[in-house]
Structure 1
Amino acid sequence: MGVMALSVPLAALLGAGTACGLLMVAWGLSRRDAGPVDSDAGLDRPSWLSRFASGREPVDRRRLALCLAVGVVVGVVTRWPVAAALSAAGAWMLPQVIGPDRDHDRRVARIEAIAAWTEALRDNLSGAAGLEQAITATAIESPEPIREEVTRLAGRLQRGWRAPDALRAFAAELADPTADLVVAGLVMAARGSAGQLGDVLGELAASARAKVASRQRVAAARKRNRTSARVIVGATLAMAGLLAVLNRGYLTPFDTATGQLVLLAAGGCFAAAFAWLGRLMRDRDTARILAGVAAPPEPEAVRT
């Protein structure tokens, strides 16, 4: 009994130290360098960890702190380290599976913005304006989801960038298959193959709006999966909570090391199932036709 009483504060101390360590690791991964590494200045090359972190989105520190707090609370209440780890991981993963699909909403809003901008560009071209003048004119009232990218595109053209280079940089920033189709047509027009560019832009805009409608139908079908996931998660958490409150003795076998291994196996099965469900509900967009395009460097004539 004395060993058990000693292990409780020790486990709480170790859990708090682990939480602080994870928080510091996540904070380090979420940092961004102030500028590019100057290889000519004798600076070291970035480590593999920094290169790995540079390709990932910044960590939401408030969300991470909340997940760690959930893990610590569960660990203190249950005295099960596996339950603490599983609860922290669940608090991080489950909102993406059972919560609202905000990523879908952002994608749909961007595609709608691309369609609206394409139509505006077509209308300006039909008014006998040149391609660069039409792009500059549409930048003033471009849709909010792509306004920043369109404004940078117009700024590059005004600073003397070649239209194909500026358009390729624009496609690299948007990183969207629908935008790639529009940019491909504009690049061909900038190289002197305009042809029926207005008609092409109109068809691309109609195709983008049809894609939005298709995505909305897919999202409506996925709502049933999210509802099923919410029911499963709610029933599981409710059962575990009621057992912990009303019949603690039923959970006594989990106090042993073997019980923790069984809990880890069960939690791993649930985690794998929800990860699979989240992958099934993730948007899989068509391949980009300009995926290998990177933003070209600024022309030497503009760097004065």
Structure 2
Amino acid sequence: MTSYLSALGMLAGAVVALGLTGVVAALRGWRPEVRGVRRGLIRGRLVRVVEELPPGWRDNYRLLLTGAAGAGALMWSLTGWPVHGLLAFAAVAGLPFVLYPGGSGRREVARLEAIAEWLQQLASVRAGGKPLEATIVDLDTAPALLERPVRQLADRLSSGVPARRAYRRLADDLNSRIGDDIAQLFMDHVTSRGPGLARALSAQAALVARQGTDLRDINAERAKARSEARRVSLFAIAVVTVILVNGSYSQPFATALGQLGLLVLGVLFVASLLWLRRMAMLEDEPRTLLTAEERAKEKEGEAA
């Protein structure tokens, strides 16, 4: 029995050590080699979650991870138990997501406004009779939130990538229902080359701007739900902190078996916080175009 508990303790220590090593490696710029579409999807989801945070938290999140690793190591050294350190790390690293459950929604509103502005810019230039591809490539400015996907689209078009493929990649970069609608409009124009593109772009810009206004109103209504989720989460974290810091309360967890039980409780606790966060989030509209992963699976099916 003693050897079994020792093995559990070593396993818990190895898990924490691996996690802290991964944090240090990430802070130094290392990224896991996950090939193909899955790498882009995983990285895109992680980046999107961090980007939903307010600028102060978002821009300094790597520093926060450094502090979280230090807090985890300190808790481990003080208590002598690895799971205590892991929970301390998770508490510090997850603090901004607890303070801003489900995001504030402001970034998505700003993103819609940026898309509307860009479409209106394209409509203004296109009204002079310039081809769409040349308009996109030659447009000097783009809203800050769209600078990267717009630049990537312009680079693809200028390097000879077929227009339909470049527009489909734009939909992947935007990863939203609005992005699919814009890409579909561009691809339809590649097929028809009709004269009404400037009017269509202006109409799409007005539609996106109206959606941004509606989302702003919805976000204001859901602020109460986010506030409740934040209060519940902070109270729960405070209770857990008291239990871990107080020696008499944490005594049952001061064994290898207790560490395993604490790890399970910690996972359940994090899952409950994620559930609260999901309740406070606005659901994304379903996409109309196939995602990059779905297209890859479709090609694999055809090849088989």
TM-score by length of structure 2 reads: 0.68
Alignment of 1:202-213 (within 5 A): 202-213=202-213
Q: 2:100 maps to what in 1? A: 99
Select between 215-224 and 257-266 the one with higher mean Cα deviation.
257-266
| Distance apart, 1:211 and its partner CA | 1.9
Measured in 2, the distance between the counterparts of 1:275 and 1:293 equals 26
Q: 1:149 maps to what in 2? A: 149
Measured in 2, the distance between the counterparts of 1:174 and 1:239 equals 40
Alignment of 1:1-304 (within 5 A): 19-26=16-23, 27=25, 30-31=30-31, 55-57=41-43, 62-99=63-100, 104-137=105-138, 139-194=139-194, 196-239=196-239, 249=248, 252-255=251-254, 263=262, 266-292=265-291
Q: After superposition, give the CA deviation of every residue in 1:61-81 in whole Å (9 maximum; x if it has no partner).
A: 644443332223333444554
Q: 2:3 maps to what in 1? A: none
How many residues align structurally?
A: 269
Select between 66-75 and 248-257 the one with higher mean Cα deviation.
248-257
Measured in 1, the distance between the counterparts of 2:62 and 2:241 equals 28
Taking a change above 3 Å as real, the CA distance of residues 64 and 18 of structure 1, as seen in their structure-2 partners, is farther
| Distance apart, 1:140 and its partner CA | 0.7
Q: 1:301 maps to what in 2? A: none
Taking a change above 3 Å as real, the CA distance of residues 69 and 221 of structure 1, as seen in their structure-2 partners, is farther
Is residue 23–residue 64 contact of structure 1 (8 Å, CA) maintained in 2? no
Measured in 2, the distance between the counterparts of 1:238 and 1:169 equals 45
| Distance apart, 1:208 and its partner CA | 1.0
| Distance apart, 1:163 and its partner CA | 3.2
Measured in 2, the distance between the counterparts of 1:20 and 1:61 equals 19
Paired letter, 1:97:
V
Measured in 2, the distance between the counterparts of 1:110 and 1:164 equals 24
User: Sequence identity, in percent?
Assistant: 28
Is residue 222–residue 281 contact of structure 1 (8 Å, CA) maintained in 2? yes
Taking a change above 3 Å as real, the CA distance of residues 209 and 259 of structure 1, as seen in their structure-2 partners, is same
How much is the aligned-residue C-alpha RMSD, in angstroms? 4.0
| Residue ranges of structure 2 left out of the alignment (5+ in a row) | 1-5, 48-60, 296-304
Q: After superposition, give the CA deviation of every residue in 1:143-192 in whole Å (9 maximum; x if it has no partner).
A: 12222332343344444444333323333333332122122112222222
| Residue ranges of structure 1 left out of the alignment (5+ in a row) | 1-6, 34-48, 296-304
Higher-Rg structure is 1
Q: 1:3 maps to what in 2? A: none
